Structure 1
């Protein structure tokens, strides 16, 4: 088994590197590079009644520590048009390997739904994590929401705009923090043609911009972005939100990474690609620093 695993690793690594050089990060290659022996997985756990309302649970190996593991609910990106939880096994594995019980959730996408229905799905998934933390062996007081790209927007809205969690009987005050990677937090006017119909362009509803919801009571935040991101401007979005949170008196950590782009920032969670940027180390430190 170990020989086969090493053979797969050496086959997948060159393919992943070539893909990264081309500016893409194919999930199959990244998942092939993820370790298989540091977590157990429960797949297709329902957090709602609809087909896309499912998540996978990545549980660290061994017994939970006193008080339970920290729990992270992760949402992927894809311009709210595409994405599958199975594509992000490498993220679930990476976080679980660092001692975090991790939920990677699907949510409904355009054209099935538009704003704000995908936020309602994400709020249900996060509510599942908050309610099930203790039964799963996690610490209910150390629950985090995290996302990349459009998923970072979803995570930010759940953490900063209490409308969404309040509808599930929970509140952002229950979170120990949130993590946004390459998130669009201030994106009007909408230029991406895929995103325009999601938000009813040009009649974008009021309250869609994360920046407008930053306040003193916002949970601890970690914002990470590629210094040279051609898809989501890091200075305007991550930098702008960090500034707004600081002005409000909310705790925030901002990290801008060199040598990665919008996609490879997430790819850096895969074990042999972590040299690209210390994103996993920084997210782990942020979670471990929570009270």
Structure 2
């Protein structure tokens, strides 16, 4: 009897492992497809309406680099949009997001697209350390870069959304030199509240001996002036909807501004690709982000 129960338990564990492995393989395949797609997107992205300075060092290490897209027709509020890419904290590079810089620079925003150190060599909170370093660099170098830093919006996709949220809500609060200038956070399909222990996709990005309750930004929310716009993808099969709904409820409960914004017809990875100038007419993602940005600076 005990042997039969043990065998049944092993079978269930094997089934769960097989499901997680299949999901991880599917997501990895999607990342590789996205790499090819972003290469094509960037090759076809319009070159007019902005200038770009590439590989600006914001720190001493090789991954401490950012690209700065400067609008030729900057909005009166001179906003600075800082974008952080996704990739399960293990994958991705700023060069793959030229289309993001173009998409919003042509709308009157200066856009900084940053690199950060990746797992498994660098685990949490390394990527948040890098983001904080980049933000403080932009604040210190604004005159040299000819940018304003009084109206900053942090925007991240997937792991990047976690990073921008964690820059504000972290177990050990960061010393951001220009915190009051951060007007809003835009999170695109962000994982803010999940257990990474044994996760087949991102376990290597976190210390497995530290409980997720001591890491996730959800547990460190505090009241402030920042507006939060939490975008969710209708067809997301990677990040659970509860990540955004739970965070939205907690932000509102503490008296913060928060808005949950569902985006139809996009999946986890295609959400960011849909902001491209080549595809934004077919999806509502970019339009909804611009509506949120208009709300920030109205």
TM-score of the alignment, normalized to the shorter chain, above 0.5: yes
| Structure 1 residues 48 and 253: alpha-carbon distance in aligned structure 2, compared to 1, 3 A threshold | same
1:117 aligns with 2:155: no
Map Cα deviations across residues 163-196 of structure 1 (whole Å, 9 max, x no partner).
4531xx5263331111110110011154532311
**2:244 aligns to what?**
238
* 1:113-192 aligned within 5 A: 113-133=122-142, 135-161=144-170, 163=172, 165-166=174-175, 169-170=176-177, 172-190=179-197, 192=199
TM-score for the superposition, normalised by structure 2:
0.82
**1:50 aligns to what?**
61
Per the alignment, in what secondary structure is the counterpart of residue 80 of structure 1?
coil
**1:221 aligns to what?**
228
| CA-CA distance at 1:28 after TM superposition | 0.6
Q: For residues 49 and 199 of structure 2, what CA distance do their matches in structure 1 show?
A: 39
| CA-CA distance at 1:32 after TM superposition | 2.5
Paired residue for 2:88, among 79, 82, 85?
79
**1:94 aligns to what?**
103
| Larger-gyration structure (1/2) | 2
1:262 aligns with 2:268: yes
TM-score for the superposition, normalised by structure 1:
0.84
Number of aligned positions between the proteins: 267
Paired residue for 2:114, among 102, 105, 108?
105
Structure 2 unaligned spans of 5+: 1-28
Structure 1 unaligned spans of 5+: 1-18
Bigger drift between 134-143 and 50-59 goes to: 134-143
1:210 aligns with 2:221: no
4+ runs deviating over 6 angstroms:
none
1:282 aligns with 2:288: yes
**2:39 aligns to what?**
28
Q: For residues 44 and 244 of structure 2, what CA distance do their matches in structure 1 show?
A: 29
CA RMSD, Structure 1 to Structure 2 (Å) = 2.4
1:38 aligns with 2:44: no
